[in-house]
């Protein structure tokens, strides 16, 4: 197995090394904060939250590789997708390890908690999926399983994404702003894939498609927020929906999703314009 900072030919890659440093940075920062005393109250709990949060973030970033690679015309991005996925699994392992540490490594208690608390069961199921994908992420496993079988197995990443979003919602209790943003962006990525599967990469990466999916995902986020608070706290559905138009209350999750997806459209427009200009100059 080659080192993650090396290319297939064994040469050192600054590109891969930079991504490796980026995925390790949150863990390093959390460790520095812990030893510097930034977590004076229940430090293990803070580490559990941090590692869980970065598990979900990296999982979503790994899912974003396909739309970014196609819409940004950034083919090389696919070479670091496995690294990001393995990093997500690594943070998930740290997440459950520190959860066990918080329970004094009382494994029977940990197992019973996972079995009896549904949000822990869901999170653990996502961990098992990520583990299976991480173990089969090598070139050797691709050859052993065969390309099509390997692709079918790794499509379980979508189920892991769904389970991770549900786990995040359930453990966040009332403050679900970031889980809603994550869910909205996950929906955007899955709608992109649906267009890709039913149409083509060109259609999915087209600027009107990207913008339309961004609007659809932000609307779904707004309605999802209203529905969540209505059923969880009996808050009036329309009142919560109207809060999305009140900017004095701060940026609502729907607007955050819209802002991020429109930023993606702008970057895609710039990249596609650059590639079109280069193609024109090359043919002149």
Residues 6+ apart with CB under 8 A from 12: 5, 6
**pLDDT of 90-139, one tens digit each?**
999 999 999 999 999 999 999 999 999 999 999 999 999 999 999 998 88
User: Which residues, other chains included, contact 120 with Cβ-Cβ below 8 Å and sequence gap of 6+?
Assistant: 113, 114
Q: Are residues 164 and 215 in the same domain?
A: no
- Of 157, 172, 187, which residue is a domain's last? 172
Contacts of 281 (CB under 8 A, 6+ apart): none
Q: How far apart, in whole angstroms, are the C-alpha atoms of residue 93 and residue 86?
A: 11
Assign 117 to helix, strand or coil.
coil
Across all residues in the chain, what is the average pLDDT? 90
The answer to whether residues 105 and 224 belong to one domain is no
pTM of this structure: 0.91
* Residue 179 sits in the same domain as residue 165: no
Distance separating alpha carbons of residues 48 and 262, to the nearest angstrom: 32
CB 88 within 8 A of CB 59: yes
Task: Assess whether 102 and 241 both reside in one domain.
Answer: no
Number of residues that this document lists for the chain: 284
Rounded CA-CA distance 190/214 in Å is 12
What are the beta bridge partners of residue 6?
12
Q: What is the Cα–Cα distance from 59 to 53, expressed in whole angstroms? A: 10
Q: Are residues 181 and 47 in the same domain?
A: no
Q: Report the percentage of the chain scoring pLDDT > 70.
A: 97
Q: Tell me the H-state helices in the chain.
A: 14-35, 43-71, 81-102, 107-116, 118-135, 139-145, 147-154, 157-172, 177-198, 201-205, 207-233, 237-243, 253-283
**Which of 172, 207, 231 delimits the end of a domain?**
172
| Co-location of 130 and 188 in the same domain | no
Residue 14 — pLDDT band, cuts 50, 70, 90?
Answer: confident
Least trusted range by pLDDT, from 1-15, 122-136, 150-164, 213-227: 1-15
Please determine, for residue 7, whether its predicted confidence score (pLDDT) is greater than 80.
no
Range of the domain at 126: 1-172
Residue 255's pLDDT band, with cuts at 50, 70 and 90, is very high
The residue among 172, 205, 239 that closes a domain is 172
Total number of domains in the chain: 2
Nearest to 157 by CA among 82, 212, 263, 45: 82
pLDDT at 247: 67
Confidence of residue 26 (pLDDT cuts 50, 70, 90): very high
């Amino acid at each position: 197995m080659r080192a993650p900072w090396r290319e297939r030919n064994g040469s050192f890659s600054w590109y891969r090394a930079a991504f490796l440093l980026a995925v390790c940075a949150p863990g390093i920062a959390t460790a520095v904060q812990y030893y510097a005393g930034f977590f004076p109250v229940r430090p293990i709990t803070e580490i559990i939250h941090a590692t869980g949060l970065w598990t979900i973030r990296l999982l979503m970033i790994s899912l974003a590789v396909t739309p970014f690679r196609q819409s940004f015309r950034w083919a090389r991005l696919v070479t670091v997708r496995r690294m990001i996925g393995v990093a997500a699994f690594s943070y998930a392992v740290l997440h459950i390890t520190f959860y066990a540490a918080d329970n004094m490594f009382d494994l029977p208690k940990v197992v019973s908690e996972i079995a009896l608390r549904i949000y822990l069961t869901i999170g653990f199921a996502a961990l098992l999926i990520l583990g299976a994908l991480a173990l089969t992420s090598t070139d050797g496993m691709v050859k052993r399983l065969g390309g099509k079988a390997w692709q079918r197995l790794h499509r379980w990443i979508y189920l892991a994404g769904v389970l991770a979003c549900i786990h995040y919602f359930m453990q966040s209790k009332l403050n679900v702003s970031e889980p809603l943003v994550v869910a909205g962006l996950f929906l955007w990525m899955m709608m992109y894939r649906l267009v890709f599967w039913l149409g083509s990469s060109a259609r999915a990466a087209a600027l009107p498609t990207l913008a339309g999916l961004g609007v659809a995902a932000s609307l779904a986020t707004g309605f999802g927020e209203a529905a969540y608070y209505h059923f969880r706290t009996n808050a009036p559905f329309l009142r919560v929906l109207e809060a999305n138009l009140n900017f004095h209350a701060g940026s609502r999750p729907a607007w955050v999703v819209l802002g991020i997806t429109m930023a993606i459209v702008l970057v895609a427009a710039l990249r596609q314009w650059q590639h079109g200009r280069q193609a024109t100059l090359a043919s002149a």
